[in-house]
Amino acid sequence: MFEIDVLTIFPELFGPFLETAFVGHARRGGAAAIRTHDLRDWATDRHRSVDDQPYGGGPGMVMTPEPLVPAIEALAGPKGPSRSAHVICLTPQGRRLDQARLEALAGAGGPLLLVCGRYEGIDQRVLDVAVDEELSIGDYVLSGGELPAMVLIEGLARLLPGVLGNPASIETESFRGGDLLEGPQYTRPPIYRGLEVPEVLRSGDHAAIDEWRHHQAIARTRERRPDLLDPDADS
Ligand code: SAM
């Protein structure tokens, strides 16, 4: 079972997400155990504070080392080879999450502790003393790490054995192997607003269909994401 703990000041954001679709299926089927924890449970003052003003001035607040470090250490142990979970902080300054990283994390089998930032971010010393990896979901800034954590969880859940009804769908998807987008897909009706499903897909000739799909994948990748075909080319 793949175990994921999430540390957040908004555990309520995860409710329906953890019950629904493949993530809910993974939990109910025993492929994953996902628990949320309210960071404020580790706060020691009566306001349950988790943030303070930034040194050097500037807008907004910064998440303080306490209660964050004690919370991380309670859930994953102290940083080092014997800690019980790999600690990932979601931050726009992290390495960009991609399918290869998801597959590596799924293959490693967990457990993971996901740390969700809020406010203007997290005191650097938390990252230095308690976090193993920083991951970003893209070059844009959200208000918190909860949605990025859900992105990571959903991307992982569908890779766990027994979660997808048809595991073959993973094999043909975009980014599988890292270099091709999936080509166009069609379902019924055969003609919609004058647009016809390509004849080959209705032919029943599976070799021809495979070849057509492969060519479509290359053409679509060349058109939309040429950087995937030639990572050294200027984008
Ligand atoms: N001041 C920070 C900066 O400039 O890098 C941004 C802080 S952001 C407003 C607050 C929190 O949202 C971050 O600590 C992080 O947990 C989360 N977050 C925002 N954008 C994200 C992204 N693209 N990927 C992962 N986490 C993100």
Q: What is the pLDDT along the chain (235 residues), one digit of tens a residue?
A: 999 999 999 999 999 999 999 999 999 999 999 999 999 999 999 999 999 999 999 999 999 999 999 999 999 999 999 999 999 999 999 999 999 999 999 999 999 999 999 999 999 999 999 999 999 999 999 999 999 999 999 999 999 998 887 777 777 777 876 689 999 999 999 999 999 999 999 999 999 999 999 999 999 999 999 999 987 766 5
Measured CA to CA, the distance from residue 35 to residue 179 in angstroms comes to: 34
Output the pLDDT for position 234.
60
User: What is the C-alpha to C-alpha distance for residues 35 and 3, in angstroms, rounded to an integer?
Assistant: 8
User: Which two structure tokens, joined as six digits, stand for 61?
Assistant: 């607040």
Q: Among 68, 88, 91, 134, which is best to mutate for testing ligand 1, by the most ligand atoms less than 8 A from CB?
A: 91
Q: Is 114 in the pocket of ligand 1 (CB under 6 A)?
A: no
Atom of ligand 1 nearest to the CA of 93: 5
Indicate whether residue 59 lines ligand 1 (CB < 6 A).
Answer: no
pLDDT at 56: 97
How many angstroms separate the CA atoms of 220 and 89, rounded?
34
Please report the atom of ligand 1 found closest to the CA of residue 138.
23
Give the pairing of strands 195-196 and 112-116: unpaired
Is 55 in contact with 61 (CB distance < 8 Å)?
no
pLDDT at 164: 85
> Among 32, 31, 122, which residue's Cα sits nearest to residue 71?
122
pLDDT given for residue 178 in this prediction: 62
- 4 closest CA partner among 76, 90, 91: 76
143 C-alpha vs ligand 1 centroid, how far in Å?
6
Give the residue, by CA position, lying nearest to ligand 1 atom 27: 91
User: What residue has token string 């490693």?
Assistant: 108
pLDDT at residue 209, as a whole number: 97
Task: Read off the pTM.
Answer: 0.94
Taking the CB of residue 193, how many other CB atoms lie within 10 A of it? 5
Contact 229, 222 (CB under 8 A): yes
Token pair of 212, please? 């057509």
- Confirm or reject: Cβ of 134 under 6 Å from ligand 1: no
pLDDT at site 169: 72
Q: Are 8 and 38 in contact (CB under 8 A)?
A: yes
